[in-house]
Structure 1
């Protein structure tokens, strides 16, 4: 008895559910990174100015802007260097150009900005023949199931 070849599963384009689950995992990663940055800043302030220790009291717009910047940087660097974020890795997904090559920094940056600014672009996937989100169409990327 021979084992089935796992290669066809790697060529399957990811659907909306697995991509949304990966996005939720990535949002948690971004929140943890943001909290780590705040703790590091508070610790540095404690060392420089002395007690008491307290987290920075940032305005809502500054918190949003920093969260947006962390998310864009995290997504850009992950997609440009390895083809996947932690959420992608957990769900077995890989983000590449349509040719299969890594996105590169400019294309990954544009895709990250579009994903953060227009997350509902994922809901185009069920209507696309190649299961592409609006972000994928804009930057000529594809998300496939992949074993890392």
Structure 2
């Protein structure tokens, strides 16, 4: 992590940059869900023949698979490189309080909390260290890091 001149460490990210990163990640996930559906439609076309049709899964299956895809995307990104595509575009990195990567178990828990309770971000303006509720539970931090 880069340390600003005269500072003790990277500055914690605020609600606006984190919110924009989250919206960008939602767009990535929508594209991924569309690609998965198109892939399933292509496999069905190869197996059963024309015409091509997008799958029409039940609402609960769509919701569950979307939740799982979102949790895996976030958790794997945070555990592997500390940032998602949205985080990278906004110059953010998710770490533990000491600045190290979270690891897979804590990343999975944080991702599940973020996807299930996205309004946890609302706590950021009221927190002295700009922590969302998910950060408090998992003991994580989101900081600016343009490397």
TM range (shorter): over 0.9
- Name the residue aligned to 1:7: 3
Deviations 1:11-55 (A, max 9, x none): 010000100000000001011000000001110111111111000
Deviations 1:112-134 (A, max 9, x none): 00001111111111111111110
Count of matched residue pairs? 143
Q: Shift of the alpha carbon at 1:101?
A: 0.6
The alignment status of 1:88 with 2:84, answered yes or no, reads no
For 2:59 and 2:37, locate their aligned partners in 1 and report how far apart those are by CA, in whole Å: 14
Q: Shift of the alpha carbon at 1:59?
A: 1.4
The alignment status of 1:105 with 2:104, answered yes or no, reads yes
The alignment status of 1:54 with 2:50, answered yes or no, reads no
- Name the residue aligned to 2:16: 17
Q: Secondary structure at the match of 2:4?
A: helix
Deviations 1:68-121 (A, max 9, x none): 111000000000000000000010000001111101000000000000111111
For 2:4 and 2:43, locate their aligned partners in 1 and report how far apart those are by CA, in whole Å: 51
Gaps in structure 1 of 5+ consecutive residues:
1-5
Gaps in structure 2 of 5+ consecutive residues:
none
TM-score with structure 1 length normalisation? 0.93
For 2:136 and 2:44, locate their aligned partners in 1 and report how far apart those are by CA, in whole Å: 45
